[in-house]
């Protein structure tokens, strides 16, 4: 599949954008006019640069407000078009995007528009230029793709075709069945964008909130399948207007974009292989398949405060198992099947100016059906491999960096105890406890990238997002999970102004890291809490007001309520079951949660999250006072 990206998706100068697109592996770009206008480079120099980089210039865009105007205005518009055709010749671009008129159209008459498109086509033919006519969702008289297609069809001119843009079509919820009527060779260009489900005016939605395929709420696989079935063979291009992307790192956004197309391409390639559906015109390439992960094999915490962290783990009932046989600073702690690797980070001599690493969640090992193909797939999706020292007799373990800098390892699933724990001198797991979810903080500007990362590399599904109030703002929370729930990861976007100050991974300031946590399932939360109490655990305090409110909400047995409060246990229930849990205080940017689920309660105690956030905020205020 030929891939392309509009320069408007990326930050930087035109030259930087072209270099980033080429480096990420795109086949071509759409030149957005504004990027050229502000560039000091001549059109010829841009063409030369693109050729040197090995990318094609696929489209010049946009040309606005041509059709549906009176004759005097139309003459002016043709003259304006001709100057663009001459410019395109200098750039070596043969196709221009024509947006349906939003500003100057005064004539709502398809006959007039058809005639004007035909005359534009004649002019274009003299310059050997193709016109891709696109219905903008907010066009004055033409706002639907099938209307634009009817006009193109009636114009019946070899230089006039249509451009289909998923945003303009899906944002209007237009019936997609008429796409099948369009011959593939009359689709002169294809633009893809996804978007979150928002209720707002469509122009603002389009200009600020488009995201790459897989990062929003739409079914782009279905959309692209329909396009493939027309026989379209041109580039599949990203046109994404997004405020964060435009401020983000150019190379990183380009990689995120290419990943979205590779993932989308593979999702259709797999489906068309199954059903023998058409799609060969796009030359779709599959990726090594990945099944949903079966569970979390381990979590790795990195710490500069080994004493505090391991003391807390002891208080929670974890047992120290041993040191790694070839990495003396790495320990294994177990509570049943909940496996925590603790790696101690010490300040290296001579680097005293470097910030001390606080305790942070360094990585997660996911159990996957085929670790080798998961890693191959990750590499083809341009994830960066984690460099790792490995002794010759250690279990081979490979992984990649997630967008927030944490490490994601692909661990071969197997019903038995993993072999690697022998590297810590241990040989079997108890069965009672396990890691039930991991809650990760995400910098807001890489949040969409994270959703696509976990969707495309690990086949996790994004659940609908929720906003949780905290003293410093709303925390956006979205759960990524496997279908059977064996892997669940709430991703939280912190409201802090410096959103990169997460988890102490050294990206941005670490002034007030947004905490992340490991949630451990246990059989009896009161027993776990009592043990922790007797071992002196610093629980996250829960206010009296919470328990009074709990009583009014659930009309609890007074003895049970008293028991909850005495054990610092929070409570929620729904029609399926109950949820009992307590939190530890935070060390560095990590805390723990112990959980007991009763019945089929599937949530995460969402009503309790604001209580936790407020308590953590109070602690932070105390600490900094």
- Residue among 165 and 256 whose Cβ is closer to Mg ion: 165
List the one residue out of 295, 293, 227, 210 whose CA is nearest residue 264.
227
- Residue among 457 and 529 whose Cβ is closer to Mg ion: 457
Pairing of strands 338-344, 295-303: parallel
List the one residue out of 559, 546, 564, 563 whose CA is nearest residue 613.
546
Q: How far is the CB of 589 from Mg ion (least distance, A)?
A: 8
- Residue among 421 and 440 whose Cβ is closer to Mg ion: 440
- Residue among 439 and 584 whose Cβ is closer to Mg ion: 439
- Residue among 214 and 403 whose Cβ is closer to Mg ion: 403
Beta strands in 486-618 (DSSP E): 488-493, 516-521, 570-574, 577-583, 590-599
Would you mind telling me the total number of residues written for the chain in this entry?
625
Q: Measured at the alpha carbon of residue 456, what is the angle toward residues 17 and 55, in degrees to the nearest 5?
A: 25
Q: Report CA dihedral (578, 580, 586, 589) to the nearest 10 degrees.
A: -30
Residues whose CB is less than 8 angstroms from the CB of residue 403 and which lie 6 or more positions away in sequence, other chains included: 256, 442, 446, 449, 450, 453
CA gap 584, 520 in Å, rounded:
12
Q: How far is the CB of 429 from Mg ion (least distance, A)?
A: 27
Q: How far is the CB of 331 from Mg ion (least distance, A)?
A: 22
- Residue among 101 and 565 whose Cβ is closer to Mg ion: 101
- Assigned token pair, 227: 């396009």
Q: How far is the CB of 239 from Mg ion (least distance, A)?
A: 5
Place of tokens 């320069």: 7
CA gap 231, 277 in Å, rounded:
11
CA gap 513, 503 in Å, rounded:
5
* Strand arrangement of the beta sheet that strand 338-344 belongs to: 319-323, 330-335, 338-344, 295-303, 360-368, 407-412, 398-401
List residues binding Mg ion (CB under 5 A).
Answer: 165, 191, 239, 404, 440-441, 502-503
Q: How far is the CB of 441 from Mg ion (least distance, A)?
A: 4
Q: How far is the CB of 516 from Mg ion (least distance, A)?
A: 5
H-type alpha helices, 215-334? 220-230, 243-247, 250-275, 306-315
- Assigned token pair, 69: 């105007």
Q: How far is the CB of 527 from Mg ion (least distance, A)?
A: 31
- Residue among 440 and 564 whose Cβ is closer to Mg ion: 440
Q: Is the peptide bond before 548 cis (omega within 30 degrees of 0)?
A: no
- Residue among 239 and 265 whose Cβ is closer to Mg ion: 239
- Residue among 250 and 406 whose Cβ is closer to Mg ion: 406
- Residue among 167 and 263 whose Cβ is closer to Mg ion: 167
Identify the bridge partners of residue 571 per DSSP, sorted by sequence position: 580
Q: How far is the CB of 404 from Mg ion (least distance, A)?
A: 4
Q: How far is the CB of 165 from Mg ion (least distance, A)?
A: 4
Cα dihedral 574, 548, 609, 341 sign: negative
Q: How far is the CB of 421 from Mg ion (least distance, A)?
A: 25
User: How many other C-beta atoms can be found within 10 angstroms of the C-beta atom of residue 358?
Assistant: 20
Q: How far is the CB of 457 from Mg ion (least distance, A)?
A: 16
Asked if 317 and 520 count as a contact pair (C-beta separation under 8 A), the reply is no
CA 130 to chain CA mean position, Å: 35
Nearest-Å Rg of the Cα atoms of the chain is 28
- Residue among 441 and 458 whose Cβ is closer to Mg ion: 441
- Residue among 166 and 272 whose Cβ is closer to Mg ion: 166
- Residue among 272 and 477 whose Cβ is closer to Mg ion: 477
- Assigned token pair, 285: 């390439």
Q: How far is the CB of 191 from Mg ion (least distance, A)?
A: 4
- Residue among 349 and 511 whose Cβ is closer to Mg ion: 511
Q: Half-sphere exposure (CA, 13 Å, Cβ side) for 157?
A: 25
Asked if 10 and 253 count as a contact pair (C-beta separation under 8 A), the reply is yes
Q: How far is the CB of 405 from Mg ion (least distance, A)?
A: 7
Residue nearest to Mg ion (CB): 165
Residues whose CB is less than 8 angstroms from the CB of residue 224 and which lie 6 or more positions away in sequence, other chains included: 192, 236, 264, 265, 268, 282
Asked if 130 and 94 count as a contact pair (C-beta separation under 8 A), the reply is yes
Q: How far is the CB of 542 from Mg ion (least distance, A)?
A: 25
Pairing of strands 295-303, 360-368: antiparallel
């Amino acid at each position: 599949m030929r891939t392309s990206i509009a320069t408007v998706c990326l930050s930087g100068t035109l030259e930087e954008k072209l270099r980033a697109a080429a480096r990420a592996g795109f086949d071509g770009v759409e030149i957005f006019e504004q990027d050229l206008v502000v560039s000091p480079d001549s059109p010829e120099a841009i063409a030369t640069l693109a050729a040197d980089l090995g990318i094609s210039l696929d489209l010049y865009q946009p040309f606005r407000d041509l059709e549906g105007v009176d004759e005097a205005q139309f003459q002016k518009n043709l003259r304006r078009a001709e100057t663009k055709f001459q410019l395109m010749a200098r750039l070596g671009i043969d196709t221009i995007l024509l947006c349906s008129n939003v500003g100057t159209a005064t004539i709502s008459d398809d006959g007039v528009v058809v005639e004007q498109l035909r005359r534009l086509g004649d002019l274009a033919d003299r310059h050997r230029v193709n016109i891709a006519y696109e219905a903008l969702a907010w066009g004055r008289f033409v706002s639907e793709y099938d209307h634009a297609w009817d006009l193109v069809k009636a114009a019946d001119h070899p230089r006039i075709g249509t451009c289909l843009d998923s945003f303009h079509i899906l944002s209007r919820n237009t019936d997609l069945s008429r796409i099948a009527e369009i011959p593939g060779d009359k689709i002169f260009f294809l633009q893809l964008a996804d978007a979150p489900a928002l209720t707002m005016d469509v122009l603002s939605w389009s200009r600020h909130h488009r995201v790459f395929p897989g990062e929003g709420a739409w079914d782009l696989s279905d959309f692209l399948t329909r396009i493939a079935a027309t026989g379209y063979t041109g580039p599949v291009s990203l046109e994404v207007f997004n405020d964060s992307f435009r401020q983000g790192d150019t190379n990183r956004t380009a990689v995120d974009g290419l990943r979205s197309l590779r993932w989308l391409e593979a999702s259709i390639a797999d489906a068309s292989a199954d059903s023998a559906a058409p799609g060969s015109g796009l030359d779709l390439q599959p990726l090594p398949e990945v099944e949903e992960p079966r569970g979390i094999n381990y979590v790795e915490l990195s710490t500069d405060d080994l004493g505090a962290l391991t003391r807390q783990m002891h208080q929670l009932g974890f047992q120290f198992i041993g040191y790694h046989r070839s990495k003396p600073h790495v320990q294994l702690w177990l509570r049943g099947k909940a496996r925590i690797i603790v790696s101690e980070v010490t300040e290296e001599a001579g680097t005293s100016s470097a910030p001390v690493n606080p305790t942070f969640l360094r990585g997660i090992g996911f159990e996957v059906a085929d670790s080798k193909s998961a890693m191959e797939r990750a590499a083809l999706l341009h994830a960066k491999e984690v460099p790792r020292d490995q002794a010759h007799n250690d279990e081979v373990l490979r992984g990649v960096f997630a967008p927030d800098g944490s490490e994601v390892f692909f661990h071969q699933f197997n019903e038995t105890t993993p072999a690697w724990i022998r590297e810590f001198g241990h040989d079997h797991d108890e069965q009672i406890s396990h890691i039930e979810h991991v809650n990760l903080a995400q910098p807001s500007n890489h949040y969409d990238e994270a959703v696509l990362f976990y969707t495309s590399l690990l086949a996790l599904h994004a659940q609908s997002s929720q906003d949780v109030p905290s003293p410093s703002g709303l925390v956006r929370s979205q759960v990524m999970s496997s279908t059977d729930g064996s892997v669940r990861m709430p991703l939280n976007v912190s409201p802090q102004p410096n959103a990169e100050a997460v988890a102490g991974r050294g990206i941005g300031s670490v002034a007030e890291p947004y905490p992340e946590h490991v949630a451990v399932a246990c059989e009896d939360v009161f027993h776990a809490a009592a043990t922790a109490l007797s071992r002196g655990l610093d629980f996250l305090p829960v206010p009296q007001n919470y328990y009074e409110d709990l009583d009014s909400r659930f009309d609890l047995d007074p003895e049970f309520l008293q028991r909850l409060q005495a054990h610092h246990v929070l409570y929620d229930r729904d029609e399926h079951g109950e949820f009992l849990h307590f939190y530890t205080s935070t060390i560095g940017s990590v805390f723990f949660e112990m959980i007991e689920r009763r019945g089929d309660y599937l949530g995460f105690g969402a009503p309790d999250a604001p209580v936790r956030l407020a308590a953590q905020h109070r602690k932070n205020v105390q600490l900094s006072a």
